[in-house]
Amino acid sequence: MTAIRKYREMSRTQRKEWMRELIINNSLYVFLIAAVVVIQFISPNFLSGPSIVNIISLSAANLPIALGIAGAIILTGTDLSAGRIVGLVACVSASLLQASGYPAKMFPNLPTMNFLLVFLIALAIGGIIGLINGFCTAKFNLHPFIVTLSTQLIVYGGLLMYLNIGNNNGQSISGLDPSYTSFITGSFISLGSTPIPNYVWYSLVITAIMWFVWNKTTFGKNMFAVGSNQEAANVSGVNVKRVIVLVFGLAGIMYGITGFIEAARIGSNSAATGLNYELDAIAAAVIGGVSFVGGIGKIRGVILGVVLLRLIFVGLTFLSIDANMQYIIKGLIILVACAIDMRKYLVRK
Amino acid sequence: MTNEILLEMKNISKSFPGVKALDNVSLKVRRGSVHALMGENGAGKSTLMKCLFGIYSKDTGKILLDGKEVSFKNPKEALESGVAMVHQELNQALKRNVMDNIWLGRYPRSFGFVTSEKRMYKDTKKIFDELDIKVDPRTLMSKMSVADRQMVEIAKAVSYHSKIIVLDEPTSSLTEQEVEHLFSIINMLRDRGCGIIYISHKMEEILRISDDITVMRDGAHIVTEPAKNFTMDRIIKLMVGRELGARFPENDAKIGEVVLEVRGLSSRHNAVDDVSFKVRRGEIVGLAGLAGAGRTEVIENIFGISERKAGKIFLHGREVKNRNAREAIKNGFALLTEERRSTGIFGILDLRENTTVSSLRKYRGLLGLISEGKRRKDTSWAMETMRVKAPSQRTKIRALSGGNQQKVILGRWLLTEPEVLMLDEPTRGIDVGAKFEIYKLIVELAKKGKAVIMVSGELPELLGVCNRICVMSGGRLVGEVDAKNTSQEEIMRLAAENA
């Protein structure tokens, strides 16, 4: 009510200024709504069950990796190995969970494994590579750009070698065990007539846990402190090296989750699985206000960034825009969204 | 000195959303004079200078240089028109050498595009000789002392044939000899007909060097008069707008048993060499010495953030290792660092985060989750005890003044309940009124039974607050004096004799 009264009391120029501030401070929401309105206007089928579920599930699949990478960005770092870790975890998970009767099975003699056990293996692989990233960053004082540039090559090499063991000969891995695929892509709730896949709920749970980790734990507080001012954090008694190692370790676990979901979601996994995922994840995090300046970022922002990015990707396909042109538009949108959002943090002069 | 006006700023006003930073301020600088600009932090000195340099655009008013109206769009334009500024926080390319820094953005060229190192060297050398600066133009900036880097900045201003040179807190990190050198350069520039605008908090210096003094307060011009009309007390009164009592609070803390004992402390990578001393309960011990004497290094070493080669630390007679800051904090030590901005505050985080960062452990509850309620309570207790002035706990710390930031960091250390409080230049860059507050807080902490070690380059402050002063030189302890029965001269002699 007071806001309305305040608005009434404003002069015309003040109102204009107020509107401008409002739009700039909520630019992402404005952007999101504008995109929906424009796409819906051109293509009236856009806001229907299937495409909404499509956007939601694509966002959910990409949320864990974005949350992981956001932690690295908060430390003024980055992670180029994310996509390759997702690929490795996806292939390993898929190879361990092929249906028993499938003819081109990678390990023909492997009994049907429990997918929860494989899930733990997926977390372990992601987590260990993440810890290695963090260890090299903290111990050798290297920028994570360099560290993860190296590890993504190593992980990729390992993945290519892995795809050659057993009967596989570098083929893509499919024919997954139905218990696994139904656990991930099955559904118990539908939107209209479109089923919502289970992994959407898993992703929400992961996001909630990450919110607690970021906002309610000593580790989370320390992460923001280290990102904001590493020297001051050290003097204030924060174990800076441990924080760095753990942030990357946690990010690795997030990539592990993404890989485990991705394997079942795509169904057929090859060396190309996960390729360039880190770039989309970085873009989503940055669009969502996670800043390379360090110490700035919110879970809410990351979610918004992921959804906005997916919405645009799906929207562009919906508008049947030429695939080559799509790249150009995506690039421009990321640039513009970040530039507008950055204005919030600038000190006005 | 003449009465000819070189620079005139007329009725300058500047508003930021919610604040009127400058209200109709005028300033006249005569040719061949040193004009001191004084005022507390937030009085509008920097804003006025930023309007001059085009860093801020002024709302109203006029700027006349040599009688012609000017309006610079950016510092580069100002520089090219003969208006230069030497900032308090030097903005230099540290990985480049001296002459690169001086000619940055206008390298002398041969054949139209090749930079001529030879000419750069010759021109730099010439300016350095004129100003009696003994620095090789090919030295890397990062290898030089702050004092030398400041001289380079002044030389740069001279190289632009500047008519107006603004010096912002130029002496805050200089030793006495370096200050003398700076003053001789200032006098030389004055004799050449430059107008110098001198911003400083140090009254003794201002009264010595300046011809005119302008005092500002709360964004308004208060007075401009010849320097000979002023006394220190009058300036302070004009600056704070009220009568200021004693400069230092009375220290009547009861001194008890020995809390901290340091024996034979030596560091591996810097100057600290065989330092031993004791600090008692309720006692404030000062560490004095010239820049580079190893004062900061001693307390950093005790705190465990630089590597120890030899020596032992005892707390209540029990040996403590303090291998890193975490261990030191657990053992009851606290360190307020010298460089507030780079090692003290978390600029983009809010006050609650800044206050509780060192004691997060205390707020862990169920499942290790942090209890926000307890954190809010402790933060408001710390802010109250330290008398922090801020809109809320959610304010970002970088929005506060230096004095308030310092109080927040002191509050942070109170929450860790330390027994030994080590303060490195606790009042650097803080204005007069806030300084007294900080002194009072330090004395109160001593009264509560803390053992306090205070490092400072400002001798009057050590004499006013400490019980005992240890003098350092070349990494060694060279003397110890009772603060009540000594003088600045005695301490300076101790510090310099053994250098």
* Cβ of residue B75 closer than 8 Å to a chain A Cβ: no
Query: Which residues on adjacent β-strands are paired with residue B288?
Result: B471
Chain mean pLDDT for chain B: 87
Give the mutation candidate from B349, B351, B354, B412 for the A interface (greatest A CB count, under 10 A): B349
Interchain proximity A237–B364, CB inside 8 Å: no
Q: What are the tens digits of pLDDT across the range B118-140?
A: 888 888 999 899 888 888 888 88
Q: How many domains in chain A?
A: 1
Nearest neighbour of A217 by CB, restricted to B56, B335, B370 = B370
Segments forming the whole domain that contains residue A222: 48-274+290-297
Give the mutation candidate from B357, B361, B412 for the A interface (greatest A CB count, under 10 A): B357
* Cβ of residue A222 closer than 8 Å to a chain B Cβ: yes
Q: Write out residues 266-325 of A within 8 Å (CB-CB) of B.
A: 293, 295-296
The 3-state DSSP class for residue A189 equals strand
Nearest neighbour of B357 by CB, restricted to A212, A225, A349 = A225
Give the mutation candidate from B360, B375, B396 for the A interface (greatest A CB count, under 10 A): B360
Look at A110-119, B106-115, B403-412 and tell me which has the smallest mean pLDDT.
B106-115
pLDDT tier for residue B202 given thresholds of 50, 70 and 90:
confident
The CA-atom distances, in angstroms, between B310 and each of A338, B35, B273, B313, B368 are: 52, 50, 9, 10, 38
Interchain proximity B348–A295, CB inside 8 Å: yes
Q: How many angstroms separate the CA of residue A56 from the nearest CA in chain B? A: 30
* Cβ of residue B326 closer than 8 Å to a chain A Cβ: yes
* Cβ of residue B316 closer than 8 Å to a chain A Cβ: no
Residue A176 DSSP class:
B
Interchain proximity B56–A349, CB inside 8 Å: yes
Interchain proximity B335–A235, CB inside 8 Å: yes
Does residue A311 lie in a domain region?
no
Residue A174 DSSP class:
-
Look at A10-14, A132-136, A316-320, B160-164 and tell me which has the smallest mean pLDDT.
A10-14
What's the pLDDT score for residue A293?
87
* Cβ of residue B346 closer than 8 Å to a chain A Cβ: yes
* Cβ of residue B19 closer than 8 Å to a chain A Cβ: no
Does residue A325 lie in a domain region?
no
Q: Which residue of B has its CA nearest to A212?
A: B369
Q: Which residue of A has its CA nearest to B358?
A: A236
* Cβ of residue A236 closer than 8 Å to a chain B Cβ: yes
* Cβ of residue B349 closer than 8 Å to a chain A Cβ: yes
Does residue A105 lie in a domain region?
yes
Is the model's pLDDT at A277 over the cut of 90?
yes
Nearest neighbour of B349 by CB, restricted to A217, A228, A237 = A228
Residue A173 DSSP class:
B
- Domains of chain B and any CATH numbers: 5-240 (3.40.50.300), 258-497 (3.40.50.300)
What's the pLDDT score for residue B286?
94
- Kindly list the residues from chain A whose CB atom is less than 8 angstroms away from the CB atom of residue B325: 234-237
Q: Are A197 and A184 in contact (CB under 8 A)?
A: yes
Q: How far apart are CA B335 and CA A292, in angstroms?
A: 29
- Kindly list the residues from chain A whose CB atom is less than 8 angstroms away from the CB atom of residue B56: 349
The 3-state DSSP class for residue A257 equals helix
pLDDT tier for residue A108 given thresholds of 50, 70 and 90:
confident
Task: Quickly count: other Cβ atoms within 10 Å of residue A70's Cβ.
Answer: 30
Give the mutation candidate from B346, B358, B379 for the A interface (greatest A CB count, under 10 A): B346
Q: What are the tens digits of pLDDT across the range A125-172?
A: 999 999 999 999 999 999 999 999 999 999 999 999 999 987 778 888
- Kindly list the residues from chain A whose CB atom is less than 8 angstroms away from the CB atom of residue B364: 218
Nearest neighbour of A232 by CB, restricted to B329, B343, B356 = B343
Cβ-count burial of B243 within 10 angstroms (0-12 exposed, 13-18 middle, 19+ buried)? Answer: exposed
Interchain proximity B325–A236, CB inside 8 Å: yes
What's the pLDDT score for residue B1?
56
Q: What are the tens digits of pLDDT across the range A16-43?
A: 888 887 877 788 888 889 888 988 998 8
Chain mean pLDDT for chain A: 90
Q: How far apart are CA A277 and CA A84, in angstroms?
A: 8
Look at A237-241, A244-248, B251-255 and tell me which has the smallest mean pLDDT.
B251-255
Does residue A343 lie in a domain region?
no
Residue A190 DSSP class:
E
Helix H, strand E, coil C: the string for chain B is: CCCCEEEEEEEEEEEECCEEEEEEEEEEEECCEEEEEECCCCCCHHHHHHHHCCCCCCCEEEEEECCEEECCCCHHHHHHCCEEEECCCCCCCCCCEHHHHHCCCCCCEECCCEECHHHHHHHHHHHHHHHCCCCCCCCEHHHCCHHHHHHHHHHHHHHCCCCEEEEECCCCCCCHHHHHHHHHHHHHHHHCCCEEEEECCCHHHHHHHCCEEEEEECCEEEEEEEHHHCCHHHHHHHHHCCCCCCCCCCCCCCCCCEEEEEEEEEECCCCCCCEEEEEECCCEEEEECCCCCCHHHHHHHHHCCCCEEEEEEEECCEEECCCCHHHHHHCCEEEECCCHHHHHCCCCCEHHHHHHHHHHHHHECHHHCECHHHHHHHHHHHHHHCCCCCCCCCCEHHHCCHHHHHHHHHHHHHHCCCCEEEEECCCCCCCHHHHHHHHHHHHHHHHCCCEEEEECCCHHHHHHHCCEEEEEECCEEEEEEEHHHCCHHHHHHHHHHCC
What's the pLDDT score for residue B354?
95
Q: How many angstroms separate the CA of residue A296 from the nearest CA in chain B? A: 8
* Cβ of residue B337 closer than 8 Å to a chain A Cβ: yes
Is the model's pLDDT at A67 over the cut of 90?
yes
What's the pLDDT score for residue A346?
62
Nearest neighbour of B305 by CB, restricted to A216, A234, A295 = A234
Does residue A327 lie in a domain region?
no
- Kindly list the residues from chain A whose CB atom is less than 8 angstroms away from the CB atom of residue B303: 235
- Kindly list the residues from chain B whose CB atom is less than 8 angstroms away from the CB atom of residue A239: 326
Does residue A332 lie in a domain region?
no
- Sheet containing strand B220-226, strands side by side: B83-86, B164-168, B195-199, B33-38, B212-217, B220-226
* Cβ of residue A218 closer than 8 Å to a chain B Cβ: yes
Q: How many angstroms separate the CA of residue B364 from the nearest CA in chain A? A: 8
Nearest neighbour of B344 by CB, restricted to A232, A293, A348 = A232
Look at A86-100, A179-193, B483-497 and tell me which has the smallest mean pLDDT.
B483-497
Q: Which residue of B has its CA nearest to A209?
A: B369
* Cβ of residue A229 closer than 8 Å to a chain B Cβ: yes
Q: Are B328 and B335 in contact (CB under 8 A)?
A: yes
Interchain proximity B345–A232, CB inside 8 Å: yes
- Kindly list the residues from chain A whose CB atom is less than 8 angstroms away from the CB atom of residue B55: 349
Interchain proximity A221–B368, CB inside 8 Å: no
Instruction: Please state, for a pLDDT cut of 70, what percent of chain B lies above it.
Output: 96
- In angstroms, how far is CA A142 from the centroid of its own chain? 24
Q: Are B169 and B41 in contact (CB under 8 A)?
A: no
Q: What are the tens digits of pLDDT across the range B211-265?
A: 999 999 888 899 999 999 988 888 878 887 765 566 788 888 889 999 999 999 9
> Is 0.90 exceeded by the ipTM?
no
Instruction: Please state, for a pLDDT cut of 90, what percent of chain B lies above it.
Output: 38
What's the pLDDT score for residue A2?
65
The pTM (predicted TM-score) of the whole model is: 0.79
Non-local CB neighbours of A36 within 8 Å, separated by 6+ positions? A46, A47, A311
Residues B434, B436, B441, CA angle at the centre, nearest 5°? 95
pLDDT tier for residue A349 given thresholds of 50, 70 and 90:
very low
Q: What are the tens digits of pLDDT across the range A286-298?
A: 988 898 889 999 9
Give the mutation candidate from A215, A217, A223, A236 for the B interface (greatest B CB count, under 10 A): A236
pLDDT tier for residue A278 given thresholds of 50, 70 and 90:
very high
Interchain proximity B357–A228, CB inside 8 Å: no
Non-local CB neighbours of A116 within 8 Å, separated by 6+ positions? none
Nearest neighbour of B305 by CB, restricted to A229, A235, A296 = A235
Does residue A89 lie in a domain region?
yes
